[in-house]
Amino acid sequence: MHEISLIKTILETVKKEMTVCGAKKLNSITLRVGTLTAVEPVALRFAFNSSIEKTDMQNAVLEIVESKLKGRCRDCGTGFNMTELDSLCPICGGGDVKRVSGTELDIISIDVD
C-alpha cells in the first residue's frame, strides 16, 4: 500500500543524484529489496510505472534485486540461507540465529546518460 510513497521518495533521491552528476536521461534504477520487508515488488513496479508516465523519466526501467533472508548462528558462527523464518543452524542445530540480510530497502545504483 505504501509503494507509491516509496517510489516518490526514490525518485526524489534519484533526481537529486542526477542533478549532482549533471545527468540528462535516466535509463534504469536498481533497488535491493529484502524478502522480509513489507514491500511487494509487483506493486512497486506498478507504482514506478504509474509515477514516471508522461514525465521525462518515462522510458526508465526498474530493476529489483531480491535480498534473501540469511542468518548467522550465534553459537557456532555458521552463515546460511534461511528457508523458513525459524530456520535452525544447519551445522550445530542451534536456534540463536542473527538475521544478516533480508530486511534491506536500498537504492543500489542508477544508469544515466
Q: Map residue 96 onto helix, strand or coil.
A: coil
d(CA 81, CA 8) in angstroms, rounded, equals 32
Q: What is the DSSP letter of 27?
A: E
Q: What's the closest the beta carbon of residue 110 comes to another protein, in angstroms?
A: 5
d(CA 47, CA 54) in angstroms, rounded, equals 14
Binding residues for another protein (CB under 8 A): 1-2, 5-6, 9-10, 12-14, 17, 21, 23, 27, 31, 36-39, 85-86, 95-96, 99, 103-113
Nearer to another protein, 55 or 109 (CB): 109
Q: What's the closest the beta carbon of residue 55 comes to another protein, in angstroms?
A: 19
